[in-house]
Amino acid sequence: MKKFLKITGITLLIIIALLIAIPFVFQGQIKDMVKQVINQNLNAHVEFSDVSLSFIRSFPQAHVDVSDLVITNFEPFKDETFASIKNISFTMSVKELFKSASEGPIVIKSITVDEALLTLKTDKFGNSNYDITKEDEAAPTENESSGFAMDIQHYSIKNSALTYSDEASKMLINLTELNHIGKGIFSGDISELDTNTDVNVSFTMDSTNYLNSNPVKLDAIIGLDLNNDIYTFKENKALINALPIKFNGYVKLIEEGQEMDISFENPGSDFKDFLALIPETYSKNIENVETTGSFKIKGIVKGLVSEETIPKLDISITSNNASFKYPDLPKGIKDISINTLIKNETGYMDDTYVDIKTLDFKIDNDAFKSSATIKNMTKNMVVDANIDGILNLANLTKAYPIALDNELTGILKAKIHTAFDMNAIETNAYERIKADGNASITGFVFSSEDLANPIQISQAAMSFSPQTVSLNTFHAKTGESDLKASGSIHNLIGFLLSSKATLKGNFSMDSNLFKVSDFMAEDKVSTTTDNKGTTAPSESLKIPAFLDCTIKANAKTVVYDNLNLKNVSGILHIKDQQVTLENLTSQIFDGALAVSGDISTKNETPTFHMNLNADGFDIAKSFKDLELLQNLAPIAKLFHGKLNTTINLSGQLDKDSSPILSTVSGSALAQLLTTKIDAEQSPLLNKLQDALSFIEFDKLDLKDLKTKLEFANGKVSVQPFDLKYKDIGITVSGAHGFDKSINYSAIFNVPAKYLGSDINRLIGKINDNEVNNMSIPITANIGGSVTSPSVKTDFTSGVSNLTKQLVEIEKQKLLSQGTDKVKDLIGGILGGNKTKTDSIKEQQNNSVQNVLKDIMSNKSKSDTTSVKKDSIKTNTTKDAVKNVLGGLLGGKKKANDTVK
């Protein structure tokens, strides 16, 4: 016995080893067999990564796996992927592996397809990418196989998807999460296929979405008459969402297309079946919903499906005296009445129509009634609808499980009749969009995370005429702001029904108080970082592209940030994501402001172009509160008085709709109406005061000062303008940056009398009107920044010019006297033949110039006094001044004066 068991065990091990080893021996043959089957049956390019064979996995059957199968089309869909399949597995008798082509077809027992993605399409010329099977070139003889036969006992498709599109009919079908199991015999002429299918279905026709990932479950037994291509539905049950449907009939393949005759209906009549039609995402759990009344859906689909025709349709949906109530909600919906027909009596797609004869319901005592007809659905759809009812919006969430981000309140009343075609909506052909009736809402409150405060509409009323909707009343409040509006709206129906439609209108708006902050939520915009490490907002405020309207606005007070504008009025034109301001006027900073220009958000970064005209602005107030003015003229905030200015500017806006200063460019013309300046508060004026002690800057005459500015790339260039301090003329020019950097030049034309007593005595000796009115230019170069300025003055050139002028004047006086001695003396001074005496005189003249330089370089009156004392102490300098000035300006000279 022991020996027997040992022999048996060894035999089993050998068999198992052979079952494992043989597949490796026949691996190449298996690949050849797969390629042979594909090449015999498909007219397409096929690739796969691997083919494997196992005798263990489905013993005693052989198991073949094909991995990563990809099928791509030939012309006219060249290189487009028709199918990609992660794995296909076959089971078959071992002997089928060793059949040659002459021994007949390969018989496969089962097929499993895992993660398949099929893309089926038909182009506008009628070509189909799935027509890839090869046609038999000759009819088979009696002893020949008729092709690739399958005797399938079981097949399955797992975790797959299919897309079908038809360009001619503009039809798109998507099947996702497809799981299908089937059992049957295909080799017989008449057989049955038992199937189970779970799939999500989406269906779109001509851009209209009729099904959106609706779950469908189908259990069907299908009779197969392969000789006559007739497929009959037997004992079939389907679930659309959760609605059970039974159907029967047949589909027959003929040369022109498919002939069908199918009828269906829901087996019960409970109104809960209607709720089952609604996707669970919206209807939630309906298992415990209390319902009354009936619901029935019945239909017949009969006729030919071809390139020109569809089956005739006769589908009815009815419900009478129905109601439902969710157990966890306080209210229910009652008196529901539905009577709808979907019909096609000709077999042509364009003649399909929907007739909603009745769609009525009540919530509490609020009744809502509607009816509509929809025709010409596949081309230019025509709609005729009526709405008549009252809705308490707060009751919607109390009667039906609607997931709203914010609670709705208010009473909506409407009685409207409308008729239109979709082409009229898409092309804004308002004459073909008809509407009559009226609608109103009271006590409406709307809140959103995009709003800082809820919008409370106390009253709004609209009346509809054939082409225009009139906004008769609109009273609203949000935060501290109030609004009243009236006007007309064009294409409201088109706007509500089409995402491409434009909303046109003309409105008048009035407000006592309009605070911009009441309409702006806390900034929650996410940020992104570019490749330079700069962090920027990912999205800016956008003007809606669908708006095309004109608003005439009046507001007693507008509060924006820290600005209070009074008596604001103007016209706003909104179109193509751009707001154009026309003659917007207001009172601010004790003056008047007029604005015109535009703001555009059409591009990724918003832009603006503005013309500002300020009349009589209080300078201190305006330069304190307006950042733009602070950057254009940072020192002006020290002025007291009035300002007139015109500013033309353009640039880009940030996410808060504020100018990005580095992008702003333009020009400004300003006139100051002021006589006072607060110099002590300015580091810049303090530095100038130290450098130029003879000027008191708080006494500058600024009245009627005019200047022109130009700015771009963050820099402001100031054209030369003139100031006056007593009899000192001042010319200023230069530039500064929005970053507070400054680079200015100020030229002070200083009369000589301000340069100290020594200079005044010298001028007095000449005693000439021209000399008495002499002045020298002193240049102050101003750099650094507004808060930390630097000042450098140039006295050297001024002193040099004064000396030359004094010498030239005295020379002319002496020449006019005709004295040779004076002539010789002046000639020596001016560079004639030099003697020892001449050299002494030249040294003395240089000494005078040095004294003048010392005097004029002093920075205060006390410094001037100090220089005088120093010159007295320095005997050489003192003697030189006396001798030279004595020779130039004195009376009669002694003989020894020349020696001296």
How does pLDDT run across 222-266, given as a tens digit for each residue? 888 878 888 898 878 888 877 888 889 999 988 888 899 999 998
682 and 804 both lie in a single domain: no
Tell me how far CA of residue 583 lies from CA of 46, 452, 657, in angstroms.
71, 29, 20
Cα angle for residues 470, 473, 476 (degrees, 5° grid)? 130
734: left (phi over 0), alpha (psi -120 to 50) or beta: left
Q: By 3-state DSSP, what share of the chain in percent is helix, strand and coil, each rounded to 5?
A: 25, 50, 25
Please tell me the predicted confidence (pLDDT) of residue 148.
46
- pLDDT value at 108 more than 90: no
In a domain, 417, yes or no: no
Bridge partners of 231, per DSSP, are 224, 251
Looking at residue 367, its pLDDT comes to 93
- What is the C-alpha separation between 300 and 290, in angstroms, rounded? 31
**Cβ neighbours of 819 (radius 10 Å):** 12
546 in Cβ contact with 555 (< 8 Å): no
Phi, psi (degrees; rounded to nearest 5) at 7: -65, -40
CB 252 within 8 A of CB 259: yes
Cα gap 221→250, rounded to integer Å: 12
Distance CA 413, CA 389 (A): 6
pLDDT at 714 over 90: no
For residue 369, is pLDDT > 90? yes
Single residue among 667, 693, 720 that ends a domain in this structure:
720
Q: How many Å apart are CA 37 and CA 48, to the nearest integer?
A: 14
Confidence at residue 319, expressed as pLDDT on a 0 to 100 scale = 92
Amino acid at 588: I
Q: Is the pLDDT of residue 885 over 50?
A: no
Tokens representing 355?
């007739």
Q: Looking at this protein, which amino acid is placed at residue 228?
A: N
Contact 168, 141 (CB under 8 A): no
Average model confidence (pLDDT) across the chain: 76
Strands (E), 393-502: 409-421, 434-446, 455-464, 468-478, 481-490
Q: Is 273 part of any domain? A: no
Query: Is it the case that residue 529 has pLDDT exceeding 50?
Result: no
In which region does residue 171 sit, left (phi positive, over 0), alpha (psi from -120 to 50) or beta (all else)?
beta
Q: Could you tell me what percent of the chain has a pLDDT over 90? A: 20
C-alpha span between 396 and 412 (Å, rounded): 12
Q: Please, which pLDDT band fits residue 622 given cuts at 50, 70 and 90?
A: confident
**Which residues have CB under 8 Å from 443's CB, separation 6+?**
409, 410, 411, 457, 458
Whether 602 and 694 map to the same domain: the answer is yes
Per-residue pLDDT tens digits for 289-326: 899 998 999 999 999 988 788 899 999 999 998 999 99
195 strand-pairing partners:
182, 220
Bond before 23 cis per omega within 30 degrees: no
Query: Could you give the CA distance from residue 846 to residue 855 in angstroms, rounded to a whole number?
Result: 14
Give the Å distances, CA to CA, from 349 to 122, 157, 206, 418, 419.
Answer: 18, 33, 12, 25, 22
Please indicate, yes or no, if residue 107 is contained in any of the structural domains: yes
Of the candidates 689, 720, 751, which is a domain's last residue? 720
pLDDT for the residue 279:
67
Location of structure tokens 């005429």 = 465
* Number of domains forming the structure of the chain: 3
Same domain, 676 and 818: no
Residue 661 to residue 663: CA distance in whole angstroms:
5
- Under 8 Å between Cβ of 233 and 220: yes
The SS3 of residue 332 is: coil
Residue the block writes with tokens 């190449």: 28
User: What is the four-CA torsion angle of 818, 824, 829, 833, rounded to 10 degrees?
Assistant: 150
* Lowest-pLDDT choice from 224-233, 489-498, 552-561: 489-498
Q: Which residue has the higher pLDDT, 873 or 747?
A: 747
Is 60 exceeded by the pLDDT of residue 834? no
Q: Which structure tokens are listed for 561?
A: 């940030």
Residue 164 shares a structural domain with residue 53: yes
Cis peptide before 60 (omega within 30 of 0): yes
**Distance between CA atoms of 300 and 311, rounded to whole angstroms?**
9
- Do residues 573 and 675 share a domain? yes
Q: What is the Cα Rg of the chain in Å?
A: 49
Answer yes or no: do 818 and 708 share one domain.
no
Tell me, what amino acid is at 381?
M
Cβ-contact 706, 669 below 8 angstroms: yes
pLDDT digits over 74-99, tens only?
888 888 888 898 988 878 776 666 66
- The answer to whether 115 and 160 have CB atoms below 8 angstroms apart is yes
Element (H, E) at 84: strand 81-92
Q: How many Å apart are CA 471 and CA 851, to the nearest integer?
A: 86
Is residue 127 situated within a structural domain?
yes
CA-based diameter of the chain, in Å?
166
Residue 73 and residue 160 in one domain: yes
Q: Would residue 179 count as lying in a domain? A: no
Distance CA 194, CA 183 (A): 5
Domain coverage including residue 652: 500-522+542-720
What is the Cα–Cα distance from 446 to 444, expressed in whole angstroms?
Answer: 7
Distance of alpha carbon 617 from alpha carbon 640, whole angstroms: 10
704, 812: one domain: no
- Same domain, yes or no, for 588 and 714? yes
The length of the chain is 900
Q: Which residues partner with 443 through β-bridges?
A: none
Higher pLDDT, residue 522 or 177: 177
Question: In this structure, are residues 153 and 117 in contact, taking their beta carbons and an 8 Å threshold?
Answer: no
Q: Which of 586, 582, 581 is nearest to 569 (CA)?
A: 586
Same domain flag for 699 and 809: no
Q: Where does a domain end: 720, 740, 770? A: 720
Band (556; pLDDT cuts 50, 70, 90): very high
Under the banding of pLDDT at 50, 70 and 90, the label for residue 764 is low
DSSP structure string for 216-244: EEEEEEEEEETTTTEEEEEEEEEEETTEE
The answer on 671 and 580 residing in a single domain is yes
Q: Do both 666 and 810 map to the same domain? A: no
Classify residue 666: in a domain, yes or no. yes
The pair of structure tokens assigned to 492 is 């409201």
Q: What is the pLDDT of residue 353?
A: 93
Which tokens hold the place of 746?
């100020």
Confirm whether 248 is domain-assigned. Answer: no
- The strand ranges marked E within 816-886 are none
Nearest to 222 by CA among 198, 186, 179, 258: 186
Predicted confidence (pLDDT) at residue 545 exceeds the cutoff of 90: no
535 Ramachandran zone, left/alpha/beta (phi>0; psi -120 to 50): beta
On the 0-12 / 13-18 / 19+ scale of CB atoms within 10 A, 872 is exposed
pLDDT at 842 over 80: no
pLDDT digits (tens, 9 = 90+) for 804-826: 776 677 677 666 655 555 455 54
Which residues does residue 867 pair with via DSSP β-bridges, in sequence order?
none
pTM, rounded to two decimals: 0.59
Give the contacts of 295 (CB within 8 A, at least 6 positions apart): 266, 269, 270, 271, 272, 273, 274, 317, 318, 319, 322, 338
In a domain? residue 478: no
Spatial CA neighbour of 814 closest among 801, 831, 830, 802: 830
Q: Is 453 helix (H, G, I), strand (E, B) or coil?
A: coil
